[in-house]
């Protein structure tokens, strides 16, 4: 199977994403950091730091291959444990400066595994999710409306499934709370039609910034002070907890011998942990927990 078209698409998407984020920030620029993996493959990590809108943004492309598929990648297909593999993907994580602008994550990826004398097994995965610190109903609805649009371009039945997957996956079990307001998540996806599934990957990748940048424009100049900034840094701690404890992409990167700096680019540049902190009753911070983090159908009306 020729996966070169997938690789080339993801490389092009990385360039487009970086250009769009630089334009949105208006000040900072990405630096490129190419890396090689001793066992096979490598990638390019693009990092933007200290922008007037984005405190940190990472857009990382990778294409790695090897003789033994890592355990995290064969979790849903245990029969493939230890098979030869190729994996390529693009991950974007953005941590804005203003607490009223949400953190956001997008990942699109492709895996292929094979054993001697057998046809290769392949699947796609990906999605995007939003992590606000101060919730706005308009933003949540628009975010999910565009997520549904990305799915409907391929199959109208996909959005409810992928939305539910996202709510369940980005749930911090030891805290009994969601990381954010969800979006789309799919993994181990193979409909049997490679070209159709590749179109799904493209649709998710191309609708990501369409969903996110209008929210950035609405909230980037919202006034904030020390209280809002402290709450943002506190909630970023939940982001760290999820990524280091549960995230399968992080586990795959570490287990496959990937470059640690690139794997952990998703972590926020600043974070604060407060022992046994609770929001004040009736506060905007409490509203995040009560009105936005619990899973709900944002498009019901």
Digit-by-digit pLDDT tens for the chain (301 residues) are 789 999 999 999 999 999 999 999 999 999 999 999 888 999 999 999 999 999 999 999 999 998 887 776 666 677 777 788 999 999 999 999 999 999 999 999 999 998 877 888 999 999 999 999 999 999 999 999 999 999 999 999 999 999 999 999 999 999 999 999 999 999 999 999 999 999 999 999 999 999 999 999 999 999 999 999 999 999 999 999 999 999 988 988 888 777 899 989 999 999 999 999 999 999 999 999 999 999 999 999 6
Q: Quick one: pLDDT at residue 201?
A: 98
Are 239 and 131 within 8 A, CB to CB? yes
Q: Quick one: pLDDT at residue 301?
A: 67
Stated pTM of the model: 0.95
Q: Quick one: pLDDT at residue 116?
A: 77
H helix intervals, 125-247: 137-152, 158-169, 194-219, 226-245
Q: Quick one: pLDDT at residue 75?
A: 66
Q: Please pick, among 105, 137, 174, 278, the residue that the annotation labels catalytic.
A: 105
From the list 125, 143, 114, 135, the residue with the least C-alpha distance to 200 is 125
Nearest-angstrom CA–CA distance, 230 and 286: 14
Q: Quick one: pLDDT at residue 76?
A: 66
Nearest-angstrom CA–CA distance, 171 and 293: 10
CA angle 12, 166, 271 (to 5 degrees): 80
Q: Is 272 a catalytic residue?
A: no
Nearest-angstrom CA–CA distance, 131 and 237: 12
Q: Quick one: pLDDT at residue 137?
A: 98
Q: Quick one: pLDDT at residue 256?
A: 78
Separation in Å, CA 294 to CA 60, 160, 291: 30, 16, 7
Are 98 and 154 within 8 A, CB to CB? no
């Amino acid at each position: 199977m020729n996966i070169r078209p997938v690789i080339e698409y993801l490389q092009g998407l990385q360039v487009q994403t970086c250009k769009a984020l630089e334009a949105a920030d208006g000040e900072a620029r990405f630096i490129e950091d190419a890396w090689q993996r001793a066992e096979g493959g490598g990638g390019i990590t693009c990092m933007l730091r200290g922008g007037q809108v984005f405190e940190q943004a990472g857009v990382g492309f990778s294409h790695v291959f090897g003789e033994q598929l890592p355990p995290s990648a064969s979790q849903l297909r245990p029969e493939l444990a230890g098979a030869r593999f190729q994996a390529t993907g693009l991950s974007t994580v953005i941590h804005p400066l203003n607490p009223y602008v949400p953190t956001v994550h997008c990942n699109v990826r492709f895996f292929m595994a094979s054993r001697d004398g057998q046809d290769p097994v392949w699947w796609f995965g990906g999605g995007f999710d939003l992590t606000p610190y101060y919730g706005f109903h308009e933003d949540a609805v628009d975010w999910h409306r565009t997520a549904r649009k990305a799915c409907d371009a391929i199959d109208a039945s996909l959005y409810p499934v992928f939305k539910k997957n996202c709510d369940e996956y980005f749930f911090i079990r030891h805290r009994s709370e969601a990381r954010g307001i969800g979006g789309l998540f799919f993994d181990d996806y193979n409909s049997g039609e490679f070209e159709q599934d590749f179109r799904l990957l493209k649709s998710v990748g191309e609708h990501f910034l369409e969903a996110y940048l209008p929210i950035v424009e609405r909230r980037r100049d919202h006034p904030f002070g020390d209280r809002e900034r402290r709450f943002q840094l506190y909630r970023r701690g939940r982001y760290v907890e999820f990524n280091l404890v549960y995230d399968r992409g992080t586990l795959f990167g570490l287990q496959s011998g990937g470059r640690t700096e690139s794997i952990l680019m998703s972590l926020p540049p600043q974070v604060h942990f407060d022992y046994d902190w609770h929001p004040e009753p009736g506060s905007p911070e409490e509203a995040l927990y009560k009105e936005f983090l619990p899973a709900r159908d944002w498009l019901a009306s």
